[in-house]
Structure 1
């Protein structure tokens, strides 16, 4: 298949596929492909926020250690191929087309989702490349997510909060139970710090039920030495580390990653401390409070749910020059009014945008949600120009934030084609 034919094939499947009650649909597809998931070693990562950053801290460290490392993330940021990477490099289009044709030829006649088809392609690619470790990010939830067909070396639960409530439940406890579904019998697991006590109780209960050793990242001592917009320095478990991504939440993600890496070392993987230090410092995820400019300070962030915008707000309040001017776009499947409430506590003025996704909240509707600060609906490029002009004149900050789809669109418009 050509690249155009490949994308037509992938896009012929719905985003969700038919509802599932078990994993038999994904298992049938992988069985037809020779069960590639049974020939690979996984670290399986679920959570509401922090999955991508935790995965990147881990993967950069194992890459630095010379371990052939697969990375599966969602959604894509710049192009479809950036969801499937080996040693930090996107799957080549040639391999994507060839493996998609193989999936198309073997796929049973079942109502698959795009995610399931993508996962099948990824697993074939990781096997073809001889990946020694694969860091696998859950799509939605955990228990019934297509990725849950794997038997991981380590399961990871990052920060859990309210999101995807229509699918996962209306309380954090119900959502935590879905995420905890990735914990497997007799396999160790890591729980990220700063989760709510009731969430921790749910995860602990599941770990006990399946006899999984649960490592809680916040049980080791933490001392923060430095935090600013350029990152942080901290001592964790008696060792010093530096990060290039800012925010307390990134320290929490790194703590989680460090626990995962220690468990991998205990299972025989040679990951020297020097590689971990290098990996953590090198790790960067696009559109996670990404610094685009220092003078004036311009940030790009795709923290689309309430916890994500709260983390952005905390970082802006602590480290960004004031006043702060926002370019904000959100989608209607998220709790956008909660996100608005978080952002208007730290911003001076916002420009509201739409057109970056089919389900973007109309700019005028989004603007009406801001009640404490001025909010003006504008096209994206004009909104960005206005925010930067105001930031430059005042010595303040411009922040493009909200939906990850907005961040992706902004990066495409500005030819930011490097992950």
Structure 2
């Protein structure tokens, strides 16, 4: 098969949470253990850092990888979902995995994958572990896909665990209270392995403290420390908390592991994160002016609150918002965050989980968010560009898939 044929087989045959929702999530680690046993447990061939949380785990993972690269370590990075190219999920020093590796991996294990009904995420985690082993990385930053305790990435024994924060997202799977969700996220805390929590939150601190104490893991909260504000290619005031988390993580790595990371590597790594790792979609300015166009992948209540606060700091004559969401999103908690004065362009992301534009428009109207509906995100975007004046601002968001279709 060619690379494109391989991707088609993967997308069509394997259940994928990002596209299908909860039906693709498996509540056990049986398959990933089976796959990694078949591969000879490649995840044990190098050091790892495990990063979970509700919001900011992607940005934090990329920043940590960038810092490690600046220090000179050959650094693997596994994140999800991807925006444009599947191989965004598997990088080394910012370079996407080879297409030939993806093709060969699927050809070699195709029958096994089908026979054992592996999910898309289970497959990609095992693929990443194997690629990092073959390429002989020094260390890999592994982002949790969903939750923590039962996430496929949770078979690693890292040198550091990081949990950015806790918010109400994926409640049908993880629980409908912050405490329940925190308990699932705390599943990545390992015995005698230090853990950094990005934000001290009233409802979740006792959960993390109890789990850390139970497994004798040294715990610290980045929000308890004062750090200088670091410059970064990642714009958006909401990145402040992620940068603090990275700064604390680097301190803990220097204090508790054999890694040695200089202040210079920390500063340069945070500053050059996009250059070093290719991260996309975080307050990404697509066009600087005439009109200014910005997109962001924030999609849950907490993430969108940060993004809307950032949007409120912008100056413009008229605000145009291209908006799409997935069908399992709690719109009653999300839609009130959006500004009522904006002109909206509603559309359905091109995935099975996408919410129909008719329903989105009706739901939005209940919160005084008014605008037109479009069949495709691209059509909504073109309409916004046609309507916008040079002094206006166009924002694109509501879902990772909306951003992916634009960039």
**1:104–1:382 Cα change, 3 Å:** closer
| SS of corresponding position for 1:368 | helix
The equivalent residue for 1:324 is 319
**1:294–1:300 Cα change, 3 Å:** same
The equivalent residue for 1:416 is none
What CA deviation, in whole Å up to 9, does each residue of 1:250-269 have, x standing for no partner?
Answer: 01011111111222223122
Query: C-alpha separation between the residues in 2 aligned to 1:114 and 1:106?
Result: 13
| SS of corresponding position for 2:238 | helix
Map 1:227-376 → 2, pairs under 5 A: 236=227, 239=228, 241-266=230-255, 267-284=257-274, 285-295=279-289, 296-345=291-340, 347-371=341-365, 372-376=368-372
Distance apart, 1:389 and its partner CA? 4.2
Confirm or deny: 8 A CA contact 1:99 1:125 kept in the other structure.
Answer: no
What CA deviation, in whole Å up to 9, does each residue of 1:316-363 have, x standing for no partner?
Answer: 112343532101011112213422211135x52111012522221111
The equivalent residue for 2:20 is none
Map 1:397-412 → 2, pairs under 5 A: 397-411=393-407
What CA deviation, in whole Å up to 9, does each residue of 1:281-318 have, x standing for no partner?
Answer: 11233111111112122101111111122111100112
Distance apart, 1:47 and its partner CA? 1.0
Root mean square deviation, CA, Å: 2.0
**1:246–1:5 Cα change, 3 Å:** closer
Confirm or deny: 8 A CA contact 2:196 2:245 kept in the other structure.
Answer: yes
Unpaired stretches in structure 1, ≥5 consecutive residues: 222-235, 412-419
Confirm or deny: 8 A CA contact 2:16 2:24 kept in the other structure.
Answer: no
What CA deviation, in whole Å up to 9, does each residue of 1:130-166 have, x standing for no partner?
Answer: 1111110111111011111000100111121111111
Confirm or deny: 8 A CA contact 2:377 2:405 kept in the other structure.
Answer: no
The equivalent residue for 2:171 is 165
**1:370–1:240 Cα change, 3 Å:** closer
What CA deviation, in whole Å up to 9, does each residue of 1:7-60 have, x standing for no partner?
Answer: 244332212687655423221211111111111211111111111100011111
Unpaired stretches in structure 2, ≥5 consecutive residues: 18-22
Flag the structure with higher strand content. 1
Distance apart, 1:218 and its partner CA? 0.8
The equivalent residue for 2:385 is 388
Distance apart, 1:240 and its partner CA? 5.0
**1:201–1:390 Cα change, 3 Å:** farther
Confirm or deny: 8 A CA contact 2:286 2:294 kept in the other structure.
Answer: yes
Query: C-alpha separation between the residues in 2 aligned to 1:173 and 1:179?
Result: 10
What CA deviation, in whole Å up to 9, does each residue of 1:378-398 have, x standing for no partner?
Answer: 2433422332344425x2311
The equivalent residue for 1:116 is 122
Query: C-alpha separation between the residues in 2 aligned to 1:320 and 1:265?
Result: 42
Count, aligned residues: 392
Confirm or deny: 8 A CA contact 2:377 2:402 kept in the other structure.
Answer: no
**1:126–1:342 Cα change, 3 Å:** same
2:38 is aligned with 1:38: no
| SS of corresponding position for 2:354 | coil
The equivalent residue for 1:14 is 15
Confirm or deny: 8 A CA contact 1:363 1:377 kept in the other structure.
Answer: yes
Distance apart, 1:123 and its partner CA? 0.6
